[in-house]
A and B are shown apart, each in its own frame.
Chain A
Amino acid sequence: MIGARRLLLAGGIVLALWGMGYGLWYAVFAEHQALEEIGASLSTAFSSAAQREAAQSGVALLRYKESKYIYDRQVDVHSHWIGLAMVLIVLGLSFDKLSFSEKTKLWLAAGFLAGACLFPLGVLFQVYDHGPLPRVLAISGSALEIASLCLIALGFARNQSSISRS
């Protein structure tokens, strides 16, 4: 098995396991509590509004906003880690069809794998830090993903044109 392919396949499998493990942990220990908090805070906000207690309603809505912000990111992290892992595995299987040198393929594989790990990690850090750093990490990770995928597409296109020439 070539180095780049091995890296993508092994990295994809490990990332899928990591993403599933994270999802399992989240489902067992955090998801139900988060969903309950979202539902209860929204219901409290409206019930307080019915009792004409605007301040209490506002506090409940802020609780809703914060718990929804965290829940959305946790679910996104879980689904993106697993989704990107599947892309890594599938691309790994077709990597020998890329018309690049082995060294370039290895760099591309490393870039794609790094992006697949960093992008959801940046999203996860947004739960704990609302500052710009986690966003920068997420944007860098996704930029790495897109740039690697563009180059991979270019590699496939070069392979296709060399097949048609031959």
Chain B
Amino acid sequence: MLSERYETLAPLSSRRLLVLGGIGLILVGMIFGDVFAIFILHQNASRVGASLAAAAHAALAGDSTTVTNNFQAVGGFLENRGTKVDTHAHVIAFGYLALMLALLAPWAVLSAKTKRRLAWLFLCGAGLLPSCVFLIHYVGLARSPLKSIGWASIFADVGGLFVIIALAGYLYGLGKRLLSGERSAVQDHPLAVSSFAGQLLLAGGVLLMMLGFLHGSYYAAVDLYRHEALDYSILSQISMGAAEKNAAAVESGLAAYSQLQGEKAVNIAAHAHIIEFGLLSILLAFFQPYVDLREIWKRRWAFVLLLGSLVLPVCVLLELKFGLIAGGLADVGGLFVIVALLAMWIGVLRDTGRLDAGDTA
């Protein structure tokens, strides 16, 4: 058993790099997401709302220049927000991809050296792209050789290219196996072993995804079209109110628009987070054999991760009703997931250390 594990998780092997790098990327992405949500997201949303209100008031006063200026300011705020959201989403998505590559690697017909090089290339790209996307808002077009694309965007694209090349390499290996007609099963330690913690994460992950699917279909059936119709009718009310110098219509429209944006945001965030946490739980279920912690602690961390994965999206949904209390609880849910993930990452690190030392205990 040890020799098999040593073979699949050898020092600087592609699987070790991708497992540690993948969980590390998800951790960084989640911590960044929490910091972004607490210190930037709400403040930025307030600025966007304030600029829209200023544009509506300028329209009411008949000042079209101020309207245009305020819409330009909204564009700037949205770019700031967009690059932060992209950073958060890409780091985590690359973490998932790294874990999937780690699982699929045994099926890829490539030499160990090639797999290792591709894993390094993937991790370099997965680090470079989000870092540079984060910098886009601050670097802008400074010293750029191009008219509309800055250096940060160029390096982000280079990072994306690294990821694409690495993925294409692994796909080539997988395609070789699929086309070769090879039917023999790949003996793979994580896929074969099923501990209680692994089973818990697997079942919990499928359940979380199912809840996310059900919530998504409920939102699509009940709220999506209503929200789209409201978006148009409220903006009509504001602009018509401004054209007719009806201040009351503008004010009530602005309040309704802010409420609508909040409703849309919490529903989309809850839907996306619960499914992503479900996916994360299933992926982590496969790597439980590599988590070198006592069985009872593996179960506890699996439970904490599932609990946080449920608390965060549910409390995000409740934010509209209960405000900051629900928001705070959602952050606690996120913290649960981060701590459980960190514990599992340390467990994998301990396992690799033990394997390197040749310890069979």
Contact = CB atoms under 8 A, between A and B. Distances in A.
Partners in one complex: yes
Interface of A: 1, 6, 9-10, 13, 17, 39, 42-43, 45-54, 57-58, 61, 64-65, 68-69, 72, 83, 86-87, 89-91, 93-94, 96-97, 138-139, 142-143, 145-146, 149-150, 152-153, 156-157, 160, 163
Interface in B160-186: 171, 174, 178, 183, 185-186
A67 to B, nearest CB: 12
B228 interface: yes
Interface of B: 55-56, 58-64, 67-68, 71, 75, 96, 100, 103-104, 107, 171, 174, 178, 183, 185-186, 191, 194, 199, 202-203, 206-207, 209-210, 213-214, 216-217, 220-221, 228, 231-232, 235-236, 238-240, 242-244, 275, 279, 282-283, 285-286
B52 to A, nearest CB: 9
A152 B282 CA distance: 13
Contact of B213 (A50, A138, A149): A149
Given A86-B100, A90-B100, A146 B214 contact: yes
B236 A52 contact: no
Given A57-B240, A163-B194, A47 B206 contact: no
Prevailing SS type, chain B contact patch: helix
Given A42-B71, A65-B232, A153-B206, A50 B217 contact: no
A153 B207 contact: yes
B232 A61 contact: yes
A163 B243 CA distance: 70
B244 A54 contact: yes
A94 B202 contact: yes
A94 B286 contact: yes
Residue from the set B59, B104, B206 with the largest chain A CB neighbour count within 10 Å: B206
Contact of A54 (B100, B171, B243): B243
